Amino acid sequence: MEQTAAWKEIAQFLLDNVDDIGEELEASFVQEYPRARANVLDYEAIHGWTVDAIHEIADCLDSGDYSAYTYLNHTGDVLDDPYETELTLFASFLSSTLSITRHIAPMLMRSTYTKPAHGRELINALESFTQQVIALNCDLFKQETGAPRALSRGWRLLDGQRDRRIASDSPAKRRMTQERYSRIVKSTIEPAKPKGDALTPREQEVLVHITDGRSNAEIARIMGISEATVKKHVSHIFDKYNVFSRTELIARVRERRQ
């Protein structure tokens, strides 16, 4: 099977299963990167980011052109280091790319379980794509940081901010930062409890349907409300349970019932 044809097939798989892949990525993200700034976003924001990332990879695979898929077009998040911006963007991009393709691979394999040989071809093609993206970005990072005065520009900028940075640093500030991160990490390993206001009767009803595995469209039809209203209820439930996907919500509801 030619690599171009395999890439196009993977791209179509991503587009056909964007919601399932998105939920898988969202559920794993908060576990793998508890300190990422994205974890403080609401569900709609992080879901939008996830869907966009899947579509971007699918477009690159379909066209066979990944030259624009670089860390320069992305915002660093996974590694939060305000003092090493270039490295943060580069490392964050590589980490998120590897994470996305690592979660896509087993789903792709499961979709071809009746044709294991074909599945291996697709996995090899996905690996080849990921490796070429990494190689491209490593070369780009080398060029960006190897250019004359590429590093000294950042050094001069930080030198001008030195006094303000030192003044803003204190034992109290460091303790607050550690406590904030501790809360984020704690929320990823303990069963979630509704925060703030308790679920409304409507939200409780929607939660039951979600745990039964029903889609937004099915819930809207059963409850006699619009799908947009269902989405609003789901967003509120996610916020109150501090989760980012249906998968994570169902898992945590079950944990609380045990």
Is-above-0.85 flag for pTM?
no
Q: What is the DSSP string of 122-140?
A: HHHHHHHHHHHHHHHHHHH
* Cα gap 205→199, rounded to integer Å: 9
- The per-residue pLDDT for range 145-201, each reduced to its tens digit, is 887 777 776 676 555 544 444 444 455 444 445 554 454 444 444 444 555 458 888
Other Cβ atoms less than 10 A from the Cβ of 127: the count is 12
Instruction: Using alpha carbons, select from 68, 98, 81 the residue that is nearest to residue 36.
Output: 81
Q: What is the mean pLDDT of the chain?
A: 78
* Cα gap 31→150, rounded to integer Å: 35
3-state secondary structure of 63: helix
In the chain, which residues fall in CATH 1.10.10.10?
A: 191-257
Give pLDDT, residue 61: 94
* CATH number of the structural domain 3-147: 1.10.490
Q: pLDDT exceeding 70 applies to what percent of the chain?
A: 72
So what CATH class is 191-257?
mainly alpha
* Cα gap 16→142, rounded to integer Å: 36
In the chain, which residues fall in CATH 1.10.490?
A: 3-147
- The per-residue pLDDT for range 59-91, each reduced to its tens digit, is 999 999 988 888 887 765 544 555 566 677 788
